[in-house]
């Protein structure tokens, strides 16, 4: 399934580009993610944990930055992950580019995700996966803004750098599911509303 999302970053495009390519720095902003190994400048290993009520799902895998175009601020990330308990796997291609937006930047993200095994059951409705991804990107954007604000205040007050973040907590599936369901209801009633 394929879908598009956007992310606002309160930095000019050149600075936003450098930030988004600094995987070590932004990994702590990705909900439920933990960077476990830096293979080289473009290849990273990690894991993502998702908790849906009593069910915990984790994916262990690798992401690689490819087709990096510094002049146009465009890149492609290929990521693969599998559940250690054999419940399935994901294979994703994520294209992103940065455009100027007011005093900051807008990141346009196009994602193509393939799910296999029992994980695919969670993604039967592509609208649900798309809404889930939108919520994750929103949480990532919020965490990124907090990290940028903390870094700016640290630099402004000449304090020592902010300590590294605590280990990643699993993504709160209940909160995300509630938002996904709300989005589905809004879409349903939006289509059903009579036109004037």
The rounded Cα 57 to chain-centroid distance in angstroms is: 17
Q: What is the mean pLDDT of the chain?
A: 76
C-beta separation of 35 from 27 below 8 A: yes
Is the sign of the CA dihedral 133, 139, 140, 141 positive or negative? positive
Split at pLDDT 50, 70, 90, the class of 132 is low
Contacts of 148 (CB under 8 A, 6+ apart): 10, 11, 19
Instruction: Give the residue-averaged pLDDT of 153-178.
Output: 48
Looking up tokens 């649900």, which residue turns up? 128
Query: pLDDT value at position 90?
Result: 84
Band of residue 59 on the pLDDT scale cut at 50, 70, 90: confident
Q: What angle do CA 177, 178, 179 make, to 5 degrees?
A: 90
Q: Would residue 175 count as lying in a domain?
A: yes
Q: Where are the beta strands (DSSP E) in 102-158?
A: 104-117
Give the C-alpha separation, 48 to 61, whole Å: 9
Say if 64 falls within a structural domain: yes
- Give tens-digit pLDDT for 63-96: 999 989 999 999 999 999 888 888 788 888 999 9
Would residue 196 count as lying in a domain? no
What does the block give as tokens for 144? 């990124």
pLDDT at position 23 over 80: yes
Instruction: Check which CATH number belongs to the domain holding 56 and give it.
Output: 3.30.530.20
**185, 49 Cβ separation under 8 angstroms:** no
Judge contact between 170 and 32, C-beta under 8 A: yes
Yes or no: say if 84 and 60 are a contact pair by the CB < 8 Å rule: yes
Whether the predicted pLDDT of 60 surpasses 60: yes
Q: 119 lies in which domain range?
A: 2-191
In a domain, 35, yes or no: yes
The whole-angstrom distance between residue 39's C-alpha and the CA centroid of its chain comes to 20
Q: Where are the beta strands (DSSP E) in the chain?
A: 2-9, 33-38, 43-52, 55-69, 74-82, 88-101, 104-117, 171-172
pLDDT of residue 55: 56
Comparing 49 with 44, the larger pLDDT belongs to: 44
Q: CA 91: distance to chain centroid? A: 15
> Considering the entire predicted model, what is its pTM?
0.71
- Give the side-chain half-sphere CA count within 13 A for 160: 2
**Spatial separation of the C-alpha atoms in residues 12 and 9, rounded to whole Å:** 8
Domain count, the chain: 1
């Amino acid at each position: 399934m394929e879908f598009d999302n956007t992310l606002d970053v309160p930095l000019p495009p050149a600075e936003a580009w450098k930030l988004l390519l600094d995987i070590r720095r932004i990994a702590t902003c990705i909900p439920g993610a933990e960077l476990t190994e830096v293979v080289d400048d473009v290849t990273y290993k990690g894991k993502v944990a998702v908790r849906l009520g009593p069910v915990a799902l984790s994916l262990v895998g690798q992401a690689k930055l490819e087709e990096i175009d510094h002049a146009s601020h465009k890149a492609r990330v290929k990521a693969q992950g599998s559940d250690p308990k054999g419940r399935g796997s994901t294979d994703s291609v994520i294209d992103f580019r940065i455009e100027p937006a007011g005093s900051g930047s807008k990141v346009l993200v196009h994602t193509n995700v393939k799910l296999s095994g029992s994980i695919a059951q969670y993604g039967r409705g592509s609208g649900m996966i798309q809404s889930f991804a939108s919520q994750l990107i929103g949480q990532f954007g919020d965490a990124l803004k907090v990290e940028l604000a903390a870094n700016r205040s640290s630099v402004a007050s000449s304090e020592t750098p902010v300590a590294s973040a605590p280990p990643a907590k699993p993504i709160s599936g209940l909160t995300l599911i509630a938002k996904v369901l709300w989005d589905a209801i809004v879409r349903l009633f939006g289509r059903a509303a009579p036109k004037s």
